[in-house]
Amino acid sequence: MSNNTLPHYKLLIDGVWTDGASARSMTTINPATGEAWASFAMAEAEDVDRAVKAARHALSKKEWGGLTPTQRGVLMHKLADLLEQNSEALGEIETTDSGKLAAETKSQAKYVASYYRYYAGLADKIEGHTLPIDKPDMHVFTKPEPIGVVAAVVPWNAQMFLTATKLAPALAAGCSVIIKASEIAPIAILEFAKLIEKAGFPSGVVSVITGDAEGCAIPLTSHPDIDRLAFTGGPETAKHVIRNTANNFAVTSLELGGKSPILVFDDANIESAANGIIAGNFGASGQSCVAGSRVYIQREIYSEVIARLLEKTAAIVVGNPLDASSHIGPLCTLAQVEGIERALEKAKKQGGKILAGGVRLNDLGSDYYFAPTIVECPVHDVETLHVELFGPVLSIACFDTEGEAIALANDSEFGLGSGVFTENLARAMRVSQQIQSGICWVNTYRAVSPMAPFGGVNQSGYGREAGIQAIQDYIRVRTTWISTSSEPMGNPFVMR
């Protein structure tokens, strides 16, 4: 199919669907076939500036800035309803664009509606306070106000979820938002933008753009009129983003990479632990920032857990992600596949042993498929134990004591997710509180909820998304002092 016959997606800027200022476009690849399936417009600096100016203007217009919090909540409920109604179509588009399993993309598109409903309910629960001030004849109160114009930078993986964790609290707080979708597989977010329009949000409140770093990402994150930046991506890109915010002093949150540990103690339910490990690492083909890609197993049950994992891995069906019988689809980009191959070759030289997988599956329609892989690591400096590979590669090592397990879990520059499998409640409490991560799952893995904060420490970033606190991150507090005295204000040069 030539580029001229591909479906073409435009940018949504100030309520208008438009090609970028330079009319540049990119094509996006269906990983299941390795072929281009759609094209999309690329934003330039001029487009970014138009989107930001429209967002600033929307804050002062009565159609948005004049709405009550309850009225904002009504619009968000409409958006949630539309998401549920269109989740099947959105999921299929995301699967075609990214290669993620359709069962997951469809259910995720439907589930994120609960994030918009959760924050719709919080919109009119944000309260100011009257302060018991220490000065006589003064009435002092605070009033919550929207922080302003928000830039939400979203990656291609889990894009509906990672958009919701930014957009939902921002809209509830009364902000306006520019969503920057990844230039890799952005079509689902561009389709989602149609639902934002259909829900009735005024023009300029939400713009959706995408493009490369020079034309889009850098002008957006460094734009002087951005008040808040919510970024999900890799640590190296985040370093550039932080430098860019020197131009606007935007309040910034970073949700970055991970190399999450899972600890399996000798009193664990082995079936539960094995299922948690499989789900935590091979779910979404390992393309998850919280993937539990390094597993530490206590020596007494090491062989038994390995055997169970090999059995379950052998039963995984790798295939077309739109096929309901598939468990794992292709990876999103060839760069991921090639990076995994290089890492595995290095791991073998460092003493790692490939117990399962380790190869491309070239007979499935494209070069993007990679077999679920288990690497046994007899020494702890094997690279796959430390580098985020963003694919279905699980690294396993052994430990003897609880203290050793905690030390191994914390031997990482990342700190996003973690998992603990044990039937000992006291141990679960001790260990979960000592692992340096923003999230710890005990006897489960990869569970999320709009009520539960999500975020990391160290190289996994800072700030939290989801939960009640997140809406406060999109608010500024105005303090008002009112003198209630009937006397004139005193001489300012006479100190009392």
- Give catalytic residues, as residue numbers: 255
Cα 79 to the center of its chain, rounded Å: 20
Phi and psi based region of residue 65 (left: phi greater than 0; alpha: psi -120 to 50; beta: remaining): alpha
Length of the chain in terms of residues written: 496
Pairing outcome for strands 441-442 and 419-421: parallel
* Alpha-carbon torsion angle 440, 443, 449, 455, nearest 10: 10
Q: Give how far Cα 360 sits from Cα of 185, 284, 322, 351, Å.
A: 22, 17, 19, 21
What single-letter amino acid sits at 230?
A: A
**What three-state secondary structure class fits 175?**
coil
217 C-beta neighbours (distance < 10 Å), count? 26
Rounded Cα distance between 276 and 283, Å, is 10
Q: Give how far Cα 184 sits from Cα of 18, 32, 36, 320, Å.
A: 19, 15, 12, 19
* Alpha-carbon torsion angle 475, 250, 231, 160, nearest 10: 40
Rounded Cα distance between 361 and 89, Å, is 28
Structure tokens at 469: 């606190």
Residue by residue, DSSP assigns 465-483 as: BSSHHHHHTTEEEEEEEEE
Structural contact between residues 13 and 47, judged by C-beta atoms closer than 8 angstroms: yes
Tokens 């020596």 found at? 299
Nearest to residue 443, comparing CAs of 191, 205, 271, 326? Answer: 271
Identify the sign of the CA torsion 435, 439, 440, 445.
negative
Structure tokens at 118: 């959760």
Rounded Cα distance between 437 and 448, Å, is 15
Residue 140's beta-bridge partner residues? 131, 481
Which residues are CB-contacts of 12 (< 8 A; sequence separation ≥ 6)?
A: 18, 190, 193, 196, 197, 206, 207, 208, 209
Pairing outcome for strands 138-146 and 130-131: antiparallel
Q: Give how far Cα 19 sits from Cα of 13, 16, 127, Å.
A: 10, 10, 41
